[in-house]
Amino acid sequence: MDCKKKIHRTFPFLLLFVLTVFPGNAWAVQSHGAPEGLYVHQLAHIFYAAALSYLFWDIKRNEFRAGGWRYLRIFCVLMVVWNVVAFVGHSLAGYVHSSELITGSEYLKTHFEGTLTTANFLCYFTKLDHLVSVPAFICLFISMRTIYRNSLEEEEV
């Protein structure tokens, strides 16, 4: 019985180790079949932004004043902005030819090839969505940590 518990405890770590040491294709960016896949993906951005907007409104309506709730509201705003940026980027992807934005061998070295149009510039800007999403998730982490610590302090009292 004790050996069985040890196996159940170590299996997730062993699986994580194997997946880290022997990675396969991550497929983090998924292309969608035209046009239905893009429509569903765009609708998902709209619904996610709407859900975050409701969460922001509900937190404000209930007047939670602790620091953790404030960071959660910042997370909601940043993720709504991220959804708008991603939505615009997906919409513009059909207007920008893939040969005009050259990525090269490194991810961070994308440059323009050809004329600089408004669509090219906006498409390039929307590829920088991590500048919004990373601070958003940092705010989410701070929010969760603060709310958790506050709940521990309330239990001790």
pLDDT tens digits for 9-48? Answer: 888 888 888 877 876 665 556 666 677 778 888 999 999 9
At residue 4, the pLDDT reads 76
pTM score? 0.72
Q: Residues 102-128: what's their mean pLDDT?
A: 74
Name the residue with higher pLDDT: 96 or 130: 130
Closest CA to 119 of 98, 103, 105: 98
How far is CA 71 from each of CA 7, 90, 108, 119, rounded to the nearest angstrom?
A: 39, 28, 29, 33
At residue 37, the pLDDT reads 78
User: Domain residues of the chain, as ranges?
Assistant: 29-156
Please determine, for residue 70, whether its predicted confidence score (pLDDT) is greater than 70.
yes
Q: Residues 68-73: what's their mean pLDDT?
A: 92
Closest CA to 98 of 123, 125, 130, 128: 123
Max mean pLDDT range (12-21, 75-84, 86-95):
75-84
Distance CA 120, CA 125 (A): 9
